[in-house]
Structures are given as structure tokens and as C-alpha cells.
Amino acid sequence: MPPADTDLLKLYLQKRPSLVRFFAARLRSVEAAEDLVQELYFKLSAMEPQPEIDNPSAFLYRTANNLMLDRLRHEKRSIERDNAWRETQDLHAGEPAVDDALAARRRLLRLASLVEEMPAKMREAFRLQKLEGMTQAETAKAMNISVSAVEKHISAALKLLLRKID
């Protein structure tokens, strides 16, 4: 570690309480100001001795201010990065996993294939009631059959689908 500038460190120790107050007002947090002033100490203790500084007090505050601005920029970038990540997660939150979507698509294709294999009247009753949302009475009227016949076709269709899917 390079030798520290002892004059700056002495000045730092004298000004430390006022540095904490100064930065606590700007950061609105005594803890954050304490951290910043501690970071300033480490920076000063690692510095090479400086040629004569015209205004050591101003140098001290300027160095601390630069550290504060660096920290604020870093925090801002971190928040922006976190928000961007959350937005991408929110975009994908409603989407099923690829495997789940693929499995659901396969089940749907299998179901459609089974419906196509049904006898014509059974398929028509199933399509009108289950896929198009008609009531049993509307389905009976559309197919020109009785409501009990629609019930029998739907019951048989559901039994067939359950048996073939399992």
C-alpha cells in the first residue's frame, strides 16, 4: 500500500463529523453518510502524498462528493437493471413453460382426432354443445332430434373420450 498523505488524513479526522452531517443531508441517511465518509478514509489512506494542495478542505469535500456521485450512479444503474429484469419476468409470467405448452398442444390434437373419429350424429352433438356452447335444447333443434337423444350422444361422446384418452 502506498504511503498515505498524513496532512489530508489529519484534516479528514478533524472534518469527519462535519463531513458526515454534510453528506447525511444530501443522502438523507446517516448510515449512508457514515459509509461514504469511511470510503473516503480508505481512498485518502491509499493515496500517494500529494504535492501542495491549495485548498485541502475543498479537496476533501470534492473527493467525497465524487465518491457520492459514483455511488448514486451505481445504485441508479443497479435499480434500472433490476427493473429491466423484472419487466422481462413479468412479460413471461403468464406464458406456460415450453414443455407444458407442447404437451397441451399434443393433447388438443389428440382430442380433435378422437372427435373426428366419432360417429357423425355424436360428433355433431358434441361440436354444437361443447365447442359452440349451445344448450341441449338448441342442439336438439339444430339437429332435428329430441333433447334426450342429444343427452345420449353427449354422454356417449364423453365416455368415449375418457376411455381413449386414459
Sign (positive or negative) of CA dihedral 100, 102, 105, 111:
negative
Identify the band that residue 1 occupies on the pLDDT scale cut at 50, 70 and 90: very low
CATH, domain 98-165, list 2.30.30.30, 3.40.50.11720, 2.60.120.1440, 1.10.10.10: 1.10.10.10
**What are the boundaries of each domain within the chain?**
6-93, 98-165
Contact criterion met (CB below 8 Å) for 143 and 121? yes
| Distance from C-alpha of 69 to C-alpha of 142, rounded to nearest angstrom | 75
Q: Which helix (H) or strand (E) holds 93?
A: helix 56-93
- The answer, as to whether pTM is greater than 0.75, is no
End-to-end alpha carbon distance in the chain:
74
CATH code: domain 6-93 is: 1.10.1740
Amino acid at 162: L
For 78-100, the pLDDT digits (tens) are 999 988 888 877 666 666 677 88
